[in-house]
Chain A
Amino acid sequence: MTGRRLIGRRPLLVEGLTALGLVAAPFVLPPLGFAPDTVNQAVVWGLFGIGFDLLFGYTGLLSFGQSAFYGTGGFVAAYLLTKAIVSSVILGLVIGMIAAAATGYLVGLIALRRTGIYFAMITVAIAETFFFLENSPLSAWTGGENGIPGVPAPSFDLFGLHYRVGTGWSMYGFLAICYFIGIVVALRIVRSPVGAILRAIRENPSRAAAVGHSVHGYKLTAFIIAAAYAGLAGGLLGVLQAFMPPEAFTFDTSGQLVMQTVIGGSGTLFGPLFGALVWLSLRDFLQAALNLGAAWKLALGLIFVLLVCFLRRGLIGAVHDAVGLFAGRWQTGTPETASVPTPAPTSPMATVGPSRRPDETPFSGPVIEARGITKSFGGLVANRDINFSVNQGELRGVIGPNGAGKSTFFKMLTCELPPTSGHIIFHGRDITGMDITGVCHLGLTKSYQINQLFNRLTVGENVVIAALAERRGRFSLDFLRRIERVPGLATQVESTLSLVGLAARRDVPVAELAYGEKRRLEIGLALASSPSLLLLDEPLAGMSPRERAETVSLLKNIRRGRTLVVVDHDMDAIFELAERITVLHEGAVLAEGTPAEIQRNSLVQEAYLGGVAA
């Protein structure tokens, strides 16, 4: 976490250090036993890995198929350059990169249809197919098993001077410039709104969709970016070796990339470069110095397994932790959460942008209306013919014994579940069949019964994710814009944080919050998208008496200017807060009325007391 704040304060620090490191490498590395060719290979792997790290380390998509794009970019560039179709090496590399990105788009459309292990398996199969294609059907262009020899090195005409890139450190200069550009672009992406959303998708894809982001669109974006990086690196491999090897397309290439990234540290951008340096130097060292011959790969395999078991964050993660341990734990380390008195959310003036869409002409009818909705799972009818409507500015309580169908009902209102029959009308518009992301953009959001947070992000970042959707829409490709430049974002995040009483906890990772604070952040995520109708699913569940009192006063606060529907088991709270209460029982509406009416209702008493009292 320290690292990220450091970046925030001194925006060009990392870029500067990278440039310094790349310039220093030819002077520092040779005495350590690195041959220029080893360093050059590591730089190509490192560039290849930047894209993969954006895909895996940041977005959480583990692909074993990156060789497909590495090979595509490499062979397209090598073909164009050796056949003299394109004379400029740079242009050839760019075209190769574009070809790889386009291939990435098509492959992504297929592979991203599934997630998790399916995604990993599909990428493996796709990469293998590319190898088959290169090897035989396309061998007239790719040279089949022979690859493409004679890839030219770039040359430049600068101020009348002709400079042709040679081998060794001359080639290093060219590769280092490419790597530097690659890192600068990647850092921009990481610090952009898109970068923040990619991390959110890694942490909790379904919540990212629920707060209004097009998860599929952003995953596809990350996939294409990764493919573009791979394509450029593939082209550079051909230039570096003056030969485009068919091995670029093999499963081994994808596997080596994954291993190097994990060894170096994923989610760091620089991990792949360090991993490649470790990999290549260990290979040389074990083979030459220790005379281990073929056993070098076994040694690397064992190192890899041990790192995955015990140091999942790789070498960079380990160094980061070690530095943190020695240098500044006391600086950032706040005392344990329980002892921090959390200020109760008392600032009544802090309101998040009065509910959304003030431009819409005031709508006189109900905000939300369910018309005869029924949901059945096979033979089980969870909800039966429910009619329900809530007026503007109302706070409605929904209660019912366990198994009454409250959660199913809520899921249908937010379009998480489609009803079997019936319609849901929001602001006079039929939203039945829309997806949860679209509904969020209309101004209807929910907070979850079980916290759905972005656990490895800070409190502030969590709220940013939710607020971004409202500011930018469900999909926007501003991946070169700094996140601080999103208009209105800062104020919206500030006011949401102070409304839920977490302003002082802004930089704390969610994992370190107390339970009650997490519950308030859960509500904060829903609030940050400025909904006109907010559904709260058991906001008081599992709270201590003090936390409960705080949250009840929070609910009183946020109801100003909003319409709220609250489901909870806490009768006292519901009867204190709600203007009207709907009672669900066995999947149907049992009663509806003011708290006083509900208290007197004999049907309700019977439902709760099981009829014995009657």
Chain B
Amino acid sequence: MITWPNFVSQCFNGLALGALLALISSGLTIIYGTLGVLNLAHGAMFMLGGYAGYVAFEATGSFAIAVAAGSLFLAVVGVLMERVVIRYFYSRPHEDQILVTFGIGICLVELVRLAFGSLSKTVPPPSWAAGISSLGFMFYPTYRLVVVGIIAVALLGLFLVLYRTRLGLIVRAGIEDSAMVDALGIDVDRVFMIVFGIGAMAAGFAGIVNAPVVSLTPDMGDAILVQTFVVVVIGGVGSFTGAILGGLISGEILSLTSMVDPSYSGVMLFAVMTLVLMLRPQGLLGTRGRT
């Protein structure tokens, strides 16, 4: 039964999910754009962020600390992964990069399964954001509204880093032509490491912020990874704004379709991706010629 409040509340759900997808996808797309590596472990990093936050929350009881610890932990994981494995793959074919990140993703998932078991874990929302709020015409879970706010701030932060700092300038130049940036005498190696860390951190941050809305399982990253791919294909690979636009569109598609029939939401998302590929193969905000 579709009612007006139901519709509005689904739009909000779509916004929350879309914001989440936008943040995870921008991490994926920044890494790909700068390093040229498609990180198939990105879904696992999202999952790992949730678990890291869970551990920190169990230890301290503070949600804020959980968010900080979860994101920082993932930044460290990202940097380690880049230093130990990924950097040896820059000169190898895309296929090898995909294979190795896919394998690392599986290792991360299985490590978490080993440590925490397959049963789901939960993180409660912070006390000040528990319960529901009145929006005047409807009631809505407070924390979901907070999620949208938190992620908007995180995206703004990422935007400022990318468009207002020296590092961001280098990253954006690297997306255009990383060989040229290297030739200009900039230490691309260090930039790559930082970018991988930031990308991983974005996924981890999303993982912990999203934790109170869902329950944590080791496999939770798979579904998110697939949706992230669709977001990036719709928005355009390597485009930060494309990731945000694609994320919001995808979130609304998933939410509004599930209002009618949940079993079709994934199919509808794919249908829209196909449409984009037919009409604009490079994605909505992607540039032609990049593959």
A binds B: yes
Residue B270 lies at the interface, judged by CB distance under 8 Å to chain A:
yes
Q: A60-B95, A125-B229, A132-B266 are in contact. List 11 more A-B contacts (CB 8 A).
A: A110-B277, A118-B237, A120-B98, A122-B229, A122-B233, A125-B233, A255-B102, A259-B103, A298-B113, A304-B99, A308-B99
Question: Nearest residue in A to B277 (C-beta to C-beta)?
Answer: A113
A-B contact pairs, 9 of them (CB 8 A): A62-B98, A64-B102, A113-B278, A117-B237, A132-B266, A259-B103, A295-B110, A298-B113, A301-B107
Q: How far is the CB of A310 from chain B (nearest CB, A)?
A: 10
A137 to B266, CA, bound (A): 11
Residue A258 lies at the interface, judged by CB distance under 8 Å to chain B:
yes
Binding site for A on B (CB under 8 A): 32, 38, 85, 88, 94-96, 98-100, 102-104, 106-107, 110-111, 113-114, 118, 222-223, 225-226, 229-230, 232-233, 237, 262-264, 266-267, 270, 273-274, 277-278, 281, 291
Interface contact B113-A129, CB-CB below 8 Å? no
Chain B residue contacts of A255, Cβ below 8 A: 102, 106
Known: A110-B277, A113-B277. A294 touches B263 (CB 8 A): no
Interface contact A308-B100, CB-CB below 8 Å? yes
In A287-318, which residues have CB < 8 Å from any B CB? 294-295, 297-298, 301-302, 304-305, 308-309, 312
Q: How far is the CB of A179 from chain B (nearest CB, A)?
A: 25
Interface contact A113-B281, CB-CB below 8 Å? yes
Residue A329 lies at the interface, judged by CB distance under 8 Å to chain B:
no
Q: Which among B98, B222, B277 is the interface contact of A122 at CB below 8 angstroms?
A: B277
Question: Nearest residue in A to B114 (C-beta to C-beta)?
Answer: A295
Q: How far is the CB of A294 from chain B (nearest CB, A)?
A: 6
Q: How far is the CB of B231 from chain A (nearest CB, A)?
A: 10
Interface contact A294-B103, CB-CB below 8 Å? no
How many A-B Cβ pairs are below 8 Å? 114
Residue A280 lies at the interface, judged by CB distance under 8 Å to chain B:
no
Residue A133 lies at the interface, judged by CB distance under 8 Å to chain B:
yes
Binding site for B on A (CB under 8 A): 56, 60, 62, 64, 110, 113-118, 120-122, 124-126, 128-129, 132-133, 135-137, 251, 255, 258-259, 262, 294-295, 297-298, 301-302, 304-305, 308-309, 312
Question: Nearest residue in A to B108 (C-beta to C-beta)?
Answer: A301
Interface contact A129-B85, CB-CB below 8 Å? no
Interface contact A308-B103, CB-CB below 8 Å? yes
Interface contact B277-A305, CB-CB below 8 Å? no
Chain B residue contacts of A126, Cβ below 8 A: 270
A170 to B290, CA, bound (A): 52
Q: How far is the CB of A72 from chain B (nearest CB, A)?
A: 15
Interface contact B110-A301, CB-CB below 8 Å? yes
Question: Nearest residue in B to A299 (C-beta to C-beta)?
Answer: B110
A305 to B264, CA, bound (A): 35
Known: A62-B98, A124-B229, A312-B96. A114 touches B281 (CB 8 A): yes
Interface contact B103-A304, CB-CB below 8 Å? yes
Q: Which among A60, A118, A132, A304 is the interface contact of B267 at CB below 8 angstroms?
A: A132
A60 to B99, CA, bound (A): 13
A132 to B95, CA, bound (A): 27
Chain B residue contacts of A128, Cβ below 8 A: 223, 226, 266, 270
User: Which 3 pairs of residues, A with B, have the shortest CB-CB distance?
Assistant: A136-B263, A298-B110, A132-B266
Interface contact B38-A137, CB-CB below 8 Å? no
Q: How far is the CB of A463 from chain B (nearest CB, A)?
A: 25
Interface contact B291-A115, CB-CB below 8 Å? yes
Interface contact A309-B226, CB-CB below 8 Å? no
Interface contact B263-A135, CB-CB below 8 Å? yes
Interface contact B107-A302, CB-CB below 8 Å? yes
Chain A residue contacts of B226, Cβ below 8 A: 124-125, 128, 251
A241 to B264, CA, bound (A): 30
Chain A residue contacts of B96, Cβ below 8 A: 308, 312
Question: Nearest residue in B to A255 (C-beta to C-beta)?
Answer: B102
Interface contact A309-B107, CB-CB below 8 Å? no
Question: Nearest residue in B to A259 (C-beta to C-beta)?
Answer: B103
A609 to B95, CA, bound (A): 48
Chain B residue contacts of A301, Cβ below 8 A: 103, 106-107, 110
Known: A121-B229, A121-B233, A309-B100. A114 touches B107 (CB 8 A): no
Chain B residue contacts of A122, Cβ below 8 A: 229, 233, 273, 277
A305 to B108, CA, bound (A): 12
Interface contact B88-A309, CB-CB below 8 Å? yes
Question: Nearest residue in B to A302 (C-beta to C-beta)?
Answer: B107
Q: Which among B95, B233, B263, B278 is the interface contact of A137 at CB below 8 angstroms?
A: B263
Question: Nearest residue in B to A116 (C-beta to C-beta)?
Answer: B291
Interface contact B98-A129, CB-CB below 8 Å? no
Point out which of A129, A251, A297 has the most chain B C-beta atoms below 10 A from its C-beta. A129
Chain A residue contacts of B223, Cβ below 8 A: 128
Point out which of B118, B230, B266, B278 has the most chain A C-beta atoms below 10 A from its C-beta. B266
A145 to B111, CA, bound (A): 27
Q: How far is the CB of B268 from chain A (nearest CB, A)?
A: 10
Known: A129-B270, A298-B111. A117 touches B38 (CB 8 A): yes
Known: A118-B233, A120-B38, A133-B267. A294 touches B114 (CB 8 A): yes
Q: How far is the CB of A295 from chain B (nearest CB, A)?
A: 6
A133 to B104, CA, bound (A): 29
Question: Nearest residue in A to B286 (C-beta to C-beta)?
Answer: A118
Chain A residue contacts of B266, Cβ below 8 A: 128-129, 132
A136 to B260, CA, bound (A): 14
Question: Nearest residue in B to A303 (C-beta to C-beta)?
Answer: B103
A116 to B97, CA, bound (A): 11
Q: How far is the CB of B170 from chain A (nearest CB, A)?
A: 22
Interface contact A294-B277, CB-CB below 8 Å? no
Chain A residue contacts of B233, Cβ below 8 A: 118, 121-122, 125
A175 to B81, CA, bound (A): 42
A523 to B51, CA, bound (A): 59
Known: A259-B103, A309-B88. A116 touches B229 (CB 8 A): no
Interface contact A137-B264, CB-CB below 8 Å? yes
A117 to B32, CA, bound (A): 9
Chain B residue contacts of A64, Cβ below 8 A: 102
Q: How far is the CB of B71 from chain A (nearest CB, A)?
A: 25
Chain A residue contacts of B104, Cβ below 8 A: 305
A115 to B281, CA, bound (A): 11
A304 to B232, CA, bound (A): 27
Chain A residue contacts of B38, Cβ below 8 A: 117, 120-121
A117 to B291, CA, bound (A): 7
Question: Nearest residue in A to B283 (C-beta to C-beta)?
Answer: A118
Question: Nearest residue in A to B222 (C-beta to C-beta)?
Answer: A251
Chain B residue contacts of A115, Cβ below 8 A: 291
Chain B residue contacts of A304, Cβ below 8 A: 99, 103, 106
Question: Nearest residue in A to B112 (C-beta to C-beta)?
Answer: A298
Chain B residue contacts of A133, Cβ below 8 A: 267
Question: Nearest residue in A to B93 (C-beta to C-beta)?
Answer: A60
Q: Which among B94, B99, B107 is the interface contact of A298 at CB below 8 angstroms?
A: B107
A110 to B225, CA, bound (A): 20
Q: How far is the CB of A315 from chain B (nearest CB, A)?
A: 15
Chain B residue contacts of A129, Cβ below 8 A: 266-267, 270
A550 to B291, CA, bound (A): 39
Q: How far is the CB of B175 from chain A (nearest CB, A)?
A: 14
Q: Which among B94, B99, B277 is the interface contact of A114 at CB below 8 angstroms?
A: B277
Interface contact A262-B99, CB-CB below 8 Å? yes
Interface contact A298-B98, CB-CB below 8 Å? no
Q: How far is the CB of B226 from chain A (nearest CB, A)?
A: 5
A56 to B103, CA, bound (A): 17
A297 to B114, CA, bound (A): 10
Question: Nearest residue in B to A131 (C-beta to C-beta)?
Answer: B266
Interface contact A294-B110, CB-CB below 8 Å? yes
A118 to B264, CA, bound (A): 24
A309 to B291, CA, bound (A): 24
Chain B residue contacts of A120, Cβ below 8 A: 38, 94, 98
Interface contact A117-B94, CB-CB below 8 Å? yes
Question: Nearest residue in B to A119 (C-beta to C-beta)?
Answer: B291
Q: How far is the CB of A242 from chain B (nearest CB, A)?
A: 28
A33 to B37, CA, bound (A): 41
A133 to B118, CA, bound (A): 26
Q: How far is the CB of A83 from chain B (nearest CB, A)?
A: 23
Q: How far is the CB of A69 from chain B (nearest CB, A)?
A: 16
